[in-house]
Amino acid sequence: SLVSCHRMSAPTVWEGAGMSQLDFMHKDECVLLDMEDKIVGHDNKYESHIFCPERPRGKLHRAFSVFLFNDKGELLLQQRAKEKITFPGVWTNTCCSHPLFGYQPSEVDGPEEVKRGDVPGVKRAAVRKLEHELGISPSQVPIEDFKFLTRLHYWAADVVTHGPASPWGEHEIDYILFIQVKDVELKPNPEEVMDTKWVTYVELLEMMMPSSNLLWSPWFRIIATKFLGTWWKDLPKTLSTDLHFDPDNIHRFDCSEEHMGGAGGAGPWLDLKGSEFGDLWLGQVRVNQGKAPETPSMKHLLQKDDKNVWRLEATE
């Protein structure tokens, strides 16, 4: 299987020191998926996140979202750095990133780990990125303290940053992880995070009101409006019982209208209960018998201006 093959051929440990956002886009290999979260291949962050006519929503890949609470029950938010290529400057949950293919210990989970709820690969990725983005020591966030709740399938074009023909977006099956810590020391990485804030639920609702003029990540907006209040209301039970543990369902949502479009002109799909054939790339995966198809690279067509706004160069 892909997972066992990965474990045999993963000799390296992830290193982030001295690397730029573009370095990570080239080096980091995302785990590619079909609609049911089955692994179909892997590709670098560039190709996974490029929205184009051939792949209007990029390539579906695995992600995680960490919600880290302190002993007062406050949630740690971060504002993504202006240097980020996708969704720069937006407020979001504590940490959002991708488990990666090709590293040891493995960050790739199979269906049995999901069913049991231990998902050690995703949790290792979360510990890695909490340290990289926020300077949180792994000893302060033990893997066994994370609670995996459920999975969210969503997509969003980053048209707010890069305009109506944005070549960038997210298309993810997102693993939701909760954790509560007594004490945590933050040393945010300025290339990843420009601000942080501990909030109560009421304070979060106030921050998310349109009058605040704050930008929010599309995935956090979905989670906050559909699920977060219920999970947060009884945090001890959410963390210590299986009251909200749902490994069987993948909750599917289109982004809000402000994040539709992009270079591939993507529109409503998941909210219409669409199948994989509602997405060009996922339809190709299905036709290719559940394996990621060979696709031409689009990276060489990317152009960036001095304001970090990207576009796809027109082809003949």
258 is annotated as an active-site residue? no
Cα separation of 223 and 93, whole Å? Answer: 10
Residue with tokens 């906050």: 224
Tokens linked to 25: 């886009």
Cα separation of 146 and 160, whole Å? Answer: 32
From 96, 133, 192, 255, active-site residue: 96
105-129 burial code (b ≥16 CB/10 A, e <16) = ebbbbbeebbeeebbbbbbbbbbbb
Q: Are 125 and 100 in contact (CB under 8 A)?
A: yes
Cα separation of 266 and 261, whole Å? Answer: 5
Residue with tokens 């969003």: 156
Cα separation of 183 and 309, whole Å? Answer: 38
Distances (CA, A) of 244 to 193, 241, 282: 30, 8, 29
260-288 burial code (b ≥16 CB/10 A, e <16) = bbbbbebeebbeeeeebebbbbbebbeee
30 is annotated as an active-site residue? no
Contacts of 253 (CB under 8 A, 6+ apart): 152, 153, 154, 222, 226, 270, 271
From 30, 172, 192, 255, active-site residue: 172
Instruction: Identify the three-state secondary structure at position 129.
Output: helix
Task: State in Å, rounded, how far the first CA of the chain is from the last one.
Answer: 40
Count the neighbouring beta carbons within 10 Å of the beta carbon of residue 133: 24
Tokens linked to 170: 């997210």
Catalytic positions are 96, 172
